[in-house]
Homo-oligomer: A and B are copies of this chain.
Amino acid sequence: RINQDRLMHDIHSTCEWGKGEAWGDGPTETGMSRLSLSDTDKQARDWFADTTTSLGCKVHVDEMGNQFAIRPGLSNEEPPTYAGSHLDTQPTGGRYDGILGVTAAVEMLRTLNDNWIETNHPVGVVNWTNEEGARFPMSMVSSGVWAGAVPLEKAHNLKSVIPANDTATMKSELERIGYLGEVAASYKATPMAAHFELHIEQGPILEAEGRRIGVVQGVQAYKWFTVTVKGRDSHTGATSFQHRADALLTAAKMILASHKIATKHKALASTGILTLRPGSTNTVPGFVQFSLDIRAPLDETVELVEKECRSAFTALAAGENAYGVNDQCHPSDRQCSVEWATDFVNPATHFHEDCVSCVQQAGSDLCGGGEVSGKDIGAWGKLMTSGAGHDSVYTNKHCPTSMIFVPCRDGVSHNPAEYSSPEQCGDGANVLMGAVLRYDKL
């Protein structure tokens, strides 16, 4: 059993670096704002390197700043079984997303050491860089490079989108904070026997159903786009609706249409970023750019929603109707143009059976559920699909992978008020360690 108090201490003491907005009165009742490769991310990284080194691990950093700590096994012929996640956060994120997964993996190292446990093969802990995709707009980009799915150069050249007007790239920031490692960012240079990731659910299901552990079988498909709408700057007082090409009104229609299309297909479509020009109360904006994030359990559904959005956006830019959005709108003689750029494609992921069953059995061990397998699972747990992407999506391409979810209050995540109780965090850490040890025995 892991030490729950020690785990919570690691979480909250490292969360001093990049502390965000308060949501309650207590000293730990704040969110996090630890953008990837920022000064506070460097502090958290230094802690990770120092702590795992002092626990007897060999630590190395790759060209994407991914940190790998390896605890030797009885035999060191085979690659390590890894546990890990990420230490970066959203600009207004919480204390658990990613952070729980890394600190629980460090707590696993402490527990193995305390109990003089020797594993058959080495055990590793990993901190992946810029998982959130908040600062450098590609989520899981560094596990993506490791997996060979994202070209190194493309990742290195990603430009910071927060703070506004920042000119930093991933590479320049890796250099600045001293985390541009020399080891190639690749599954060949840093092979893994398996990858386990503990994470908060980021949704409301486990809490609503009163279950302690989510056994994650896969991740839904998603695609990210940047949509650019161009119209014509004009005077808000002197230009009739007839004579406008209003890029913002058109973008508003598109956002609404994407929501209706996603609703129809039981999918998700979301816009999190929107910028416009010139940005003056009495000028109709001639330029708008917005992000579009489409998700669904099946790849086909994402494709379908994308296809319908593309034709709806084209129609709306031309002043035609789509999904009733244009009803009662004023016709215009002028058109807007619309362009799409695809920023990120993440097909639906199905985790490896062996890893899923290690997690399932470790959950049952903790909760006293006896032997379980396949769809058979006790009241303590649930087999589920992740709504969010995780680095495990990419590790799964090169080694057996699974994830463990624990409930979070109200399903809230990417929000300062994100919260899982010490018991919920402890449950997750125990299942994480259990799954790693079970896999080590396989």
A-side interface residues toward B, CB under 8 Å?
90-92, 132-134, 137, 139, 161-162, 164-165, 201-204, 220, 222, 224, 232-241, 243, 246, 248-249, 251-253, 255-256, 259-260, 262-264, 268, 270-274, 276-286, 291, 293, 295, 323-325, 327-330, 343, 386-389, 411-416
Contacts and interface: CB of A to CB of B under 8 A. Distances in A.
Given A90-B280, A259-B249, A234 B412 contact: yes
B411 A239 contact: yes
A264 to B, nearest CB: 7
A385 B278 CA distance: 26
Contacts of A204: 240, 243
A413 B235 contact: yes
A93 B293 CA distance: 34
Contacts of A234: 411-415
Nearest to A232: B415
A224 to B, nearest CB: 6
A276 B274 contact: yes
Given A137-B281, A282-B133, A387 B235 contact: yes
Contacts of A274: 248, 274, 276
A268 B236 CA distance: 8
A276 B279 CA distance: 13
A237 B387 contact: yes
Contact of A280 (B239, B282, B414): B414
User: In the assembly, how many copies of this chain are there?
Assistant: 2
A236 to B, nearest CB: 4
Contacts of A252: 251-253, 255-256
Contacts of A388: 235, 237-238, 282
Given A259-B249, A260-B329, A412-B234, A239 B203 contact: yes
B201 A238 contact: yes
Contacts of A249: 255-256, 259, 271
Q: Which residue of A262, A283, A286 has the most chain B CB atoms within 10 A of its CB atom?
A: A283
B268 A272 contact: no
Contacts of A268: 236-237, 240-241
Nearest to A415: B233
A139 B281 CA distance: 9
Contacts of A253: 252, 256
Contacts of A386: 237-238
Contact of A134 (B241, B282, B293, B330): B282
A281 B291 contact: yes
B285 A281 contact: no
Given A91-B278, A202-B239, A233-B415, 7 more contacts: A137-B281, A202-B237, A203-B240, A220-B237, A232-B412, A236-B272, A237-B386
A248 B282 CA distance: 21
